Amino acid sequence: MCLSHCNEYRTIQPLSLRQNLFSARCEAPPPSLGSDAWMTTHIQRSALLPYPAQALYDLVNDVASYPQFLPWCSASTVIEASDTHMRAKLDVAKGGMSQHFVTRNVLVPGQSIEMNLEEGPFTQLHGLWVFKPLGDKACKISLDLSFDYAGPLVRATLGPLFNQAANTLVDAFCQRAKQLNA
C-alpha cells in the first residue's frame, strides 16, 4: 500500500541582471513569455510505506538502478561516492529531447539524502528526501524539491519533461519498492 500526499506551488523569485537565456534568469521577461517565466517550482510529495526506512533509503540512494524503473531516466552515473557524499549524473530524455544534470548529495544513511545542483539546465536545484521510521516495518518518505530553470527557452523545452518526472518521483519509488518486496 502506498498512500501519497502531494503539494506543488511556485513562487516568483527576484529578478537578476540580463544574461543568456540558457544560463540564467533575465532581468525582465519579454511580453510574449508572460511574467511566470522565472518562477521557482517547488514540489512536495510524501508516502507511507510498509517497508523499513533503511530499505527505502537504500532504494533511493541506488542511483545506478534509476534507468531500470524511471521511464524518463535514460542513463545514470555515480561519479564519486562515500558513506556521506555522492556525486551523480542523470540523463533525462523523452520524445527526442534529452538533457543531463549533476548533483552533489549529502547522505545521512537511513535518514536523509540532500541534493544540490552542480551542473545542468537550472539556475538552482535543491532536493531533500527524508525517511522517517514508523515502527520497525513502516516508513514515511518525503521529498521536497525546488528548482529554477536557466531561462525561458529551457523552461519551454525541458519544463514539461522535468515537471512530470519530479511530480511522479515518489510514486515511482513506491512502485519500485513494491516490486522488489513482492
Residues 112-165 pLDDT 10s = 999 999 999 999 999 999 999 999 999 999 999 999 998 888 888 888 888 888
- In the chain, at which residue ranges do the beta strands (DSSP E only) sit? 3-12, 39-49, 73-81, 85-94, 97-108, 112-119, 122-133, 139-149
Residue ranges and CATH numbers for the domains of the chain are 43-177 (3.30.530.20)
pLDDT, tens digit, 9 for 90 and up, residues 68-104:
999 999 999 999 999 999 999 999 988 888 899 999 9
What pTM was computed for the model?
A: 0.78
